[in-house]
Amino acid sequence: MPKSVQEYIVGLTEKAAQDLIAAGQGAPEGSRAWSPLDKGRTMVDQVAECAAE
């Protein structure tokens, strides 16, 4: 039986969350606090924003 649109979107959202966690954990520690030209947002800031949404 085909999935509903809602179930499909839930699956995509869960996969995106897993990918975000894996990217954060897989990044070298020194790069987690790096920001472009020391003016942009760090990876930690961006992951925290995603978690808050």
Please, are residues 47 and 24 in contact by the beta-carbon 8 Å criterion?
yes
pLDDT of 13: 92
Residue 1 confidence class, pLDDT cut points 50, 70, 90: low
Between CA 17 and CA 12 the distance in angstroms is: 9
Between CA 23 and CA 21 the distance in angstroms is: 5
Q: What confidence tens digit (pLDDT) does each residue in 2-41 have?
A: 689 999 999 999 999 999 999 888 889 888 889 988 889 9
Q: What is the DSSP letter of 2?
A: P
